[in-house]
Structure 1
Amino acid sequence: MAQSEQFTAPVHTVVSRMRTLGTDLPERDGVAVFNRVYLTVTEEIGRRLGAGEFPDPGAAATLDVRFAERYLTVAEEEGHPPACWRPLLQFRRHPGVRPLQFALAGVNAHVGHDLALAVVDSCRALGCEPGDLEDEFERVGDLLASMEERVREDLMPGPDLLEVADPLTHLLGAWSLERARDAAWSAARTLWALRGLPGLAREFADRLDAAVGLTGRMMLTPLGDRTGHCAG
Structure 2
Amino acid sequence: MPQSEQFTAPVEPGLGTDRTDRTSVDDVLARMRALDAALPPGDGIAVFNGVYLAVTQEVDRRIDTGRFPDARAATTLDVRFAKRYLDAVDPGPADRRPPACWRPLLQFRRHPGVRPLQFALAGINAHIGHDLALAVVDACRSLGCEPAELEDEFDRVGELLGSLEERVREELMPGPDLLQIADPLTHLLGSWSLERARDATWTAARALWALRRLPDVAEEFTERLDTAVGFAGRMMLTPLPALVL
Give the TM-score taking structure 2 as reference length.
0.88
CA contact (8 A) 1:97 1:224 kept: no
1: distance between equivalents of 2:237 and 2:182?
18
The CA deviation at 1:12 is 2.1
Question: Match of 2:40?
Answer: 26
What does residue 189 of structure 1 align with? Answer: 206
Q: Is the contact made by 1:96 and 1:224 (CA closer than 8 Å) also made in structure 2?
A: yes
Match status 1:174 vs 2:191: yes
Aligned letter for 2:39? L
Q: Distance in 1 between matches of 2:156 and 2:132?
A: 13
Counterpart selection for 2:226 from 189, 204, 209: 209
- Paired with 1:43 and 1:165, the residues of 2 have a C-alpha distance of 32
- Give the conservation status (yes or no) of the 8 Å contact 1:62–1:122: yes
- 2:82 paired with 1:52: no
Q: Does 1:76 align with 2:90?
A: yes
Counterpart of 2:194, as a letter, is L
* Offset, 1:165: 6.9
C-alpha distance in 2, partners of 1:206/1:154?
A: 34
Contact 2:18 2:72 in 1 (8 A): no
Unmatched runs of 5 consecutive residues or more in structure 1: none
AA partner of residue 43 (structure 1)? Q
With over 3 angstroms needed to count, the CA separation of the structure-2 counterparts of 1:94 and 1:126, relative to structure 1, is same
Alignment equivalent of 2:127, drawn from 110, 114, 132: 110
User: Residues of 2 paired with 1:15 and 1:223: CA distance?
Assistant: 33
SS in 2 for 1:160: helix
Asked if 1:94 is matched to 2:111, the reply is yes
Which residue of the partner structure matches residue 169 of structure 2? 152
Distance in 1 between residues matched to 2:132 and 2:105, nearest whole Å: 17
Please identify, of 166-175 and 112-121, the stretch whose mean Cα deviation from structure 2 is larger: 166-175
Give the letter for the 1:95 counterpart: P
Q: Give the AA of the match of 1:16.
A: A
Displacement of 1:162 in angstroms is: 2.1
Letter aligned with residue 170 of structure 1 = H
> What residue is the counterpart of 1:141 in the other structure?
158
Contact 1:8 1:50 in 2 (8 A): no
The aligned counterpart of 2:57 is 43
> What is the alpha-carbon distance in structure 2 between the residues aligned to residue 127 and residue 164 of structure 1?
52
Aligned-residue RMSD, C-alpha = 1.6
State the TM-score, normalized to the length of structure 1. 0.93
Tell me the CA shift for residue 52 of structure 1.
1.2
Task: Indicate the larger mover: 176-185 or 78-87.
Answer: 78-87
CA distance in structure 2 between the partners assigned to 1:165 and 1:151 by the alignment: 16
Structure-1 separation of matches of 2:244 and 2:45: 23
In structure 1, C-alpha distance between the alignment counterparts of 2:134 and 2:180, rounded to whole Å? 37
Aligned-partner residue type, residue 118 of structure 1: A
Return the offset for 1:5.
Answer: 7.0
Take 2:118 and 2:107, find their aligned partners in 1: how far apart are those partners?
13
**What per-residue deviation string (whole Å, max 9, x for no partner) do you get for residues 99-142 of structure 1?**
00000000000000000000000000000000000000000001
Once the two structures are aligned, what percentage of the paired residues are identical?
69
What is the rounded CA distance, in whole Å, between the counterparts of 1:181 and 1:32 in structure 2? 23
